[in-house]
């Protein structure tokens, strides 16, 4: 047995599986069977997935669901979601239906400017560097023409480049801080290619013009996109919040309090925002976007004032309840996985082939709806009632319950509290 290997990437897929199964898995025949159960019979489709990343040994499925009845700026959407957590799609659908009869969601994209930076070290005189930068700036832009001309034709491109002095933080540290408009593309490749070209030109020209050398440390886009904010909002008269479990006014007040708690208490804010990301990540993933980039950017935004806080806000004013979200989202509807993954294409088709701006609004709504559903449960019945109902199916599947067993047990738990042990005990009772 050897737990390390060189040249793993050069093995064929079945050799890779053999190696991993032999060296890391105790029951090799079951492991092999499980891994191969997830292969797709359509060889072309399988090859497509194999080539998304390196060293693929199988596919990892996530459920792909749809939450219908989202009324956004007067247009009705069914929102595709890829997520494993059992209650998320149900919660989104419930919130969508609730707001559909109360005017729906209103949204607005405020701006779509993205940022990239060339980080470099220079220990010479700042004024000399500044003059050099101003002189070389037109050439920095001109040298990227081969990569920017198509984007410019469509109305996007490089917006500006600034020299930023960061020597207070690190000796000799400066940045070329560039802003971009990438239209319907998320733009990572476009931005990074431009930045690497800036770095090349900047260094080459500096060698001719400056006495002190420039050392390029790195060139990379930022996933912090505070200039890509989108807003979504719902509002209605307090009396329209009527719910079977609680009086409208009590519910509205409790709801606003719950949001206020997330605004001031970071322990609650993290969980509150996690619930928002349940909705956001599911749509981001279904539409082939980079959920890690979105997560990083959104959480940084949640702490932009030095303290981690809620991404949503609620108020009651003149008898009207308003609930809103403002988040930065850098999303794409062209390029990357959007042109490659067949289910991503379906997801975008379900949404009516949206522009990146339209997708930003849909995603923000998914986050707001998810948060509304979570807070509605938390401030009324408690979260476990809904969660455990959804979890019931997971437990039944874990015990490989038959169709008939599922029917009897689901029926039983319509009037009884779902707990893991109660479900197990019902299964055992039925099987005795």
272 binds ligand MEV (CB under 6 A): yes
Answer whether 191's CB lies under 8 Å from 114's CB: yes
Binding mask 231-270 vs ligand MEV (x if CB under 6 A, - otherwise)? Answer: ----------------------------------------
> Which residues carry out catalysis?
85, 274, 290, 387
Query: Nearest distance from residue 351's CB to ligand MEV, in Å?
Result: 24
Binding mask 66-105 vs ligand MEV (x if CB under 6 A, - otherwise)? Answer: -------------------x--------------------
Nearer to ligand MEV, 144 or 278 (CB): 278
Residue 243 gets which letter from DSSP? B
* Helix (H/G/I), strand (E/B), else coil: 204: helix
- Measured CA to CA, the distance from residue 27 to residue 30 in angstroms comes to 6
- Measured CA to CA, the distance from residue 7 to residue 376 in angstroms comes to 53
Query: Nearest distance from residue 374's CB to ligand MEV, in Å?
Result: 4
Query: Nearest distance from residue 369's CB to ligand MEV, in Å?
Result: 12
- Measured CA to CA, the distance from residue 8 to residue 10 in angstroms comes to 5
Answer whether 314's CB lies under 8 Å from 326's CB: no
384 binds ligand MEV (CB under 6 A): no
279 binds ligand MEV (CB under 6 A): no
333 binds ligand MEV (CB under 6 A): no
CA 88 vs. chain centroid, Å, equals 14
Q: Is residue 408 exposed (0-12), middle (13-18) or buried (19+ Cβ within 10 Å)? A: middle
CA 276 vs. chain centroid, Å, equals 10
Give me the count of residues in the chain.
432
Binding mask 343-382 vs ligand MEV (x if CB under 6 A, - otherwise)? Answer: -------------------------------x---x----
Among 104, 187, 275, 367, binds ligand MEV (CB under 6 A): 275
* Helix (H/G/I), strand (E/B), else coil: 356: helix
- Measured CA to CA, the distance from residue 223 to residue 284 in angstroms comes to 15
Minimal CB distance residue for ligand MEV: 275
278 binds ligand MEV (CB under 6 A): yes
């Amino acid at each position: 047995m050897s737990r390390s290997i060189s040249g793993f990437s050069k093995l064929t897929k079945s050799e890779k599986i053999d190696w991993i199964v032999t060296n890391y898995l105790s029951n090799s025949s079951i492991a092999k069977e499980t891994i191969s159960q997830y292969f797709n019979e359509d060889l072309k489709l399988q090859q497509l997935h194999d080539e998304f990343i390196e060293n693929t040994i199988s596919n990892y499925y996530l459920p792909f669901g749809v939450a219908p009845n989202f009324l956004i700026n007067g247009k009705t959407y069914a929102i595709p979601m890829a997520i494993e957590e059992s209650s998320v799609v149900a919660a989104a659908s419930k919130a969508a239906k609730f707001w559909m009869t109360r005017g729906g969601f209103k949204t607005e994209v405020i701006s779509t400017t993205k940022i990239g930076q060339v980080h470099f070290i220079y220990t010479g005189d700042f004024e000399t560097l500044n003059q050099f930068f101003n002189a070389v700036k037109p050439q920095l832009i001109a040298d990227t023409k081969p990569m920017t001309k198509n984007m410019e034709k469509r109305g996007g491109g490089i917006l500006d480049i600034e020299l930023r002095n960061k020597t207070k933080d690190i000796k000799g540290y400066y940045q070329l801080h560039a802003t971009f408009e990438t239209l319907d593309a998320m733009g990572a490749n476009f931005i990074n290619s431009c930045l690497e070209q800036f770095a090349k030109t900047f260094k080459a020209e500096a060698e001719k013009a400056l006495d002190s050398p420039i050392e390029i440390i790195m060139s990379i886009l930022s996933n912090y996109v505070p200039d890509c904010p989108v807003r979504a909002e719902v509002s209605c008269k307090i009396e329209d919040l009527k719910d079977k479990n609680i009086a409208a006014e009590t519910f509205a007040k409790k709801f606003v309090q719950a949001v206020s708690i997330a605004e001031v208490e970071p322990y609650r804010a993290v969980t509150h925002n996690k619930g928002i990301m349940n909705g956001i990540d599911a749509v981001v993933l279904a539409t082939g976007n980079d959920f890690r980039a979105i997560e990083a950017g959104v959480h940084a935004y949640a702490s932009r004032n030095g303290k981690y806080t809620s991404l949503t806000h609620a108020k009651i004013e003149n008898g009207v309840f308003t609930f809103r979200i403002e988040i930065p989202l850098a999303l794409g509807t062209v390029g990357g996985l959007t042109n490659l993954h067949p289910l991503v294409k379906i997801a975008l088709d379900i949404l009516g082939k949206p522009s990146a701006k339209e997708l930003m609004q849909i995603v923000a709504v998914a986050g707001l709806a998810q948060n509304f559903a979570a807070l509605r449960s938390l401030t009324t019945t408690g979260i476990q009632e809904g969660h455990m109902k959804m979890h019931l199916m997971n437990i039944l599947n874990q015990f490989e319950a038959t169709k008939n067993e599922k029917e009897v047990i689901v029926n039983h738990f319509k009037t009884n509290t779902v707990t893991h042990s109660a479900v197990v005990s019902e299964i055992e009772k039925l099987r005795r």
